[in-house]
Homo-oligomer: A and B are copies of this chain.
Amino acid sequence: MTEPETTPRRRGRPARTDAATGPGARERILTAARAEFAAHGYDKTSIRGIAKAAAVDPALVHHYFGPKEEIFAAAVEAGFAPALLAPDMLPAGPREELGERLARFILRLWEDPGTREPLLAVVRSAVANEKAAEVFRHLVSRRLMMPIAGELDVPDPRLRSELAAAQLVGVAMLRHVIKIEPLASADIDDVIAQVAPAVQRHLTGD
């Protein structure tokens, strides 16, 4: 780390290069925040730790994102972004295959480590911390469940879409978090084929 000789320093913070406040800084902070929350959970992650991992001043983290729950929300949204596309693909096919499409889309996200790890990080934080659960709740409710419910022409579409989601959340939990056998090692296409009718029934009553 280099010490710029012309910049006055305050509170003993380590020196940063000019690049640390440049246009890539926000993206780098977000990437660092995702990694920190994933590795340590909500409670043990600090603004200071995120700043260190991103090689920027903690004040810059606060400048871009505000308090810890706001940076968590941004990190969750970034990590959860692939799942938030689910409502978009629901209308793209026959109504009687809605359950199969949703099951395949969500469960496939959990098969790819690149999308699974951020999802796992979010679940771990939400289970451990009420503030993190609230952030997750609002995101899932507004961005995932309400749009899916909007596609359904059944009574209680929101409750039904949540019971469908519950089936998929439970499969992800038992397969990827608890890792119970034989579910943990079962062929994913077999799993999708078996849960699709349950999801379909919740979504459309078929």
Seen from chain A, the residues whose Cβ lies within 8 Å of a Cβ on chain B are 41, 123-124, 126-128, 133, 136-137, 140-141, 145, 156, 158-160, 162-163, 165-171, 173-174, 177-183, 186, 190-191, 194-195, 197-198, 201-202
In the complex with contacts A128-B124, A145-B180, A180-B140, A165-B159 CB distance below 8 A: no
Compute how far the CA of A163 lies from the CA of B170 in the bound complex, rounded to whole angstroms: 8
User: What's the number of copies of this chain in the assembled complex?
Assistant: 2
Dominant SS among interface residues on chain A: helix
Min distance, Cβ A178 to any Cβ of chain B, angstroms: 5
Query: What B residues does A128 contact at CB under 8 A?
Result: 41, 124, 127-128
Q: How far is the CA of A173 from the CA of B168 in the complex (A)?
A: 11
**B127 A179 Cβ-Cβ under 8 A:** no
The answer for the CA separation of A162 and B190 in the assembled complex, in Å, is 13
